[in-house]
Amino acid sequence: MRLTGHPRSRRRTLTLAAAAVLAVPAVAVPAAVGSAEPSAAELPSGNTAYRTLADYEADLAELVADHPDLVKPITLPYPTTSGRTVRGVEISTNVTADDGKPVFVDVGMHHGNEFPSGELTMEFAIDLVERAAAGDRSVTRLLDRARVVVVPVVNVDGFVRGRRQTDTNTDMNRNYGLGWLPISTGGAAPWSEPETRNMEWLLSTRQAVVFNTQHTCIQVVLYPPLQLEAGPAQDVDRLHALASEVASIYGPGYKALPSAEDYETTGEAIDWAYYATRGLALTTETCPDAGVPRTYQTQVLDVYDEHRDAMLTMLETAADPDQYAVIEGQGPKGAVLRVTKAFDMYTSPYLQPDGATRPSSFTTTLGSDLTIESRNGKFEWAVNPSYRPIPAYQEDGVHGFQTGFYEEPWILTCERPDGTVLQTVEVNVDLGESVTVDLKECRRKFHRTRP
């Protein structure tokens, strides 16, 4: 989807505050940030300089206040190491409704000094909301079919310090559990960082059909796996197709490839996200051409139009019924439906305290809920497939080039609002499939007088 022009710019031109406690220190910001060079390009916000944390929080709050029908706030559950809050927004038409739409999750600034990644993520949220509010039919149709979750700054402490790592000197994008290794920047243990656990919570509680983590500064769109010995992901064709389309939008210099073919790492977001949820997970890196100075102009203003079209492509993919599964049926109005599954996953093998070299295990629990709001009790719920791709990282080591899937049904419960479980159903459903569940028992019990 290609859009041109911007809706009414409603924000002020921002300048950096050097002394504020939660502001980015002046020394941490790229040199050319005071204002952008003259250009015909204009951001949806009208900004011409990098935001501070206070600016991000104000812009997120303003979107919620100005458009409560389209935007609701999200507060991630874990404060950062230094006690800061991580905030985001959810965007959709009739956003407060419990409607079971598929989800696109878009986050910025895993690395706190990659300032353009937060700017581009925030600007896309503003653009999406203002276009929908202005009656842009193409955007409204997408938001009728899908939800967008935006967290522009996931590593808040790193951003405030103007540094790549968290306040424990951990690269949070080396701290995810799948394939984790105890490298110098990987953290004390898999999932040791509250910032990483926030992302685990976010992706575990939403049916994210597409997940994008925005970075700088190379021209590449990456997808799993992170290590060559893991072999291709089971959904490599789907992953490569989306990554290639996104890369082509950014320009001829951009490439789409497995992350391991860029360089090998461990414990990154996209590997765990894909192998845990089967959602399409991408790392999108933007950067000016070689020899072009890295300024606000070249890294934010000049790339934004392409970035918007790339994100709309991801949103279109999330809204495509071929990219998710559907659970449908009829239950009692007011009942809470919940789908859950829990399974063990593994790090890479590493030297353990007892002197043996072996992986460590951790449990991933996925769980989403939906309240039946329709008067007749009918519902249609977009979920990720119940068939989970088998990762290379196993209890006894690395076994690459897996081609199969675990047959792990979703456990669907139908409950009263107080949590009383009235019926439990196992649901197996694959990409592009729709399964109808029979909730007759739940309907029969829901309005029965309690003993």
* Percentage with pLDDT > 70 across the chain: 90
- Whether the pLDDT of residue 33 is over 90: the answer is no
Q: Which of 17-21, 196-200, 272-276, 285-289 comes out lowest in average pLDDT?
A: 17-21
Domain count, the chain: 2
Q: Which residues contact 407 (CB under 8 A, 6 or more apart)?
A: 386, 387, 428
Q: What is the pLDDT of residue 344?
A: 98
* Residue 340 near residue 384 (C-beta atoms within 8 A): no
Catalytic residues: 285
The pTM (predicted TM-score) of the whole model is 0.92
Do 58 and 82 fall within a single domain?
Answer: yes
Q: Which of 4-18, 77-91, 310-324 comes out lowest in average pLDDT?
A: 4-18
- Whether the pLDDT of residue 38 is over 80: the answer is no
* Percentage with pLDDT > 90 across the chain: 89
Tell me the pLDDT tens digit for each residue of 362-407: 999 999 999 999 999 999 999 999 999 999 999 999 999 999 999 9
- The burial of 450, by beta-carbon neighbours within 10 Å (0-12 exposed, 13-18 middle, 19 or more buried), is given as exposed
Task: Confirm whether 14 is domain-assigned.
Answer: no
Q: How confident is the model at residue 202 (pLDDT cuts 50, 70, 90)?
A: very high
Domain boundary among 303, 323, 343: 323
Do 316 and 363 fall within a single domain?
Answer: no
Task: Confirm whether 10 is domain-assigned.
Answer: no
Task: Confirm whether 351 is domain-assigned.
Answer: yes
Judged by phi (left if over 0) then psi (alpha if -120 to 50, else beta), residue 168 lies in alpha
Separation in Å, CA 231 to CA 213, 272, 386, 406 = 22, 15, 22, 17
Task: Confirm whether 24 is domain-assigned.
Answer: no
Tell me the pLDDT tens digit for each residue of 231-289: 999 999 999 999 999 999 999 999 999 999 999 999 999 999 999 999 999 999 999 99
Q: What is the DSSP letter of 386?
A: S
Do 311 and 378 fall within a single domain?
Answer: no
Domain boundary among 323, 346, 377: 323
Beta-bridged to residue 136, according to DSSP, are: none
Do 81 and 223 fall within a single domain?
Answer: yes
Q: Which of 2-11, 169-178, 283-292, 422-431 comes out lowest in average pLDDT?
A: 2-11
Do 129 and 264 fall within a single domain?
Answer: yes
Domain residue limits at 167 = 29-323
Q: What is the pLDDT of residue 447?
A: 84
Do 354 and 292 fall within a single domain?
Answer: no
Tell me the pLDDT tens digit for each residue of 51-71: 999 999 999 999 999 999 999
- What is the separation of C-alpha 313 from the centre of its chain, rounded to a whole number of angstroms? 15
Task: Confirm whether 15 is domain-assigned.
Answer: no
Do 256 and 373 fall within a single domain?
Answer: no
* Residue 144 near residue 158 (C-beta atoms within 8 A): no
Do 249 and 333 fall within a single domain?
Answer: no
Do 63 and 176 fall within a single domain?
Answer: yes
Q: What is the pLDDT of residue 448?
A: 80
Task: Confirm whether 215 is domain-assigned.
Answer: yes
Scanning the structure block, which residue is given the tokens 């984790």? 180
Task: Confirm whether 11 is domain-assigned.
Answer: no
Do 38 and 116 fall within a single domain?
Answer: yes
Q: What is the pLDDT of residue 365?
A: 98
State residue 231 phi and psi, 5-degree precision: 80, 170
Task: Confirm whether 385 is domain-assigned.
Answer: yes
Q: What is the pLDDT of residue 1?
A: 56
Q: How confident is the model at residue 449 (pLDDT cuts 50, 70, 90)?
A: low
CATH number for the domain spanning 305: value is: 3.40.630.10
Do 316 and 331 fall within a single domain?
Answer: no
Q: Which residues contact 80 (CB under 8 A, 6 or more apart)?
A: 86, 155, 156, 157, 166, 167, 194, 195
Beta strands 103-108 and 147-151: pairing type? parallel
Do 314 and 344 fall within a single domain?
Answer: no
| Separation CA 115–CA 30 (nearest Å) | 9
Domain boundary among 269, 302, 323: 323
Tell me the pLDDT tens digit for each residue of 101-152: 999 999 999 999 999 999 999 999 999 999 999 999 999 999 999 999 999 9
**C-alpha atoms less than 13 angstroms from C-alpha of 267 in its C-beta half-sphere:** 31
Instruction: Average the pLDDT over 3-19 and give the result.
Output: 38
| Separation CA 229–CA 310 (nearest Å) | 30
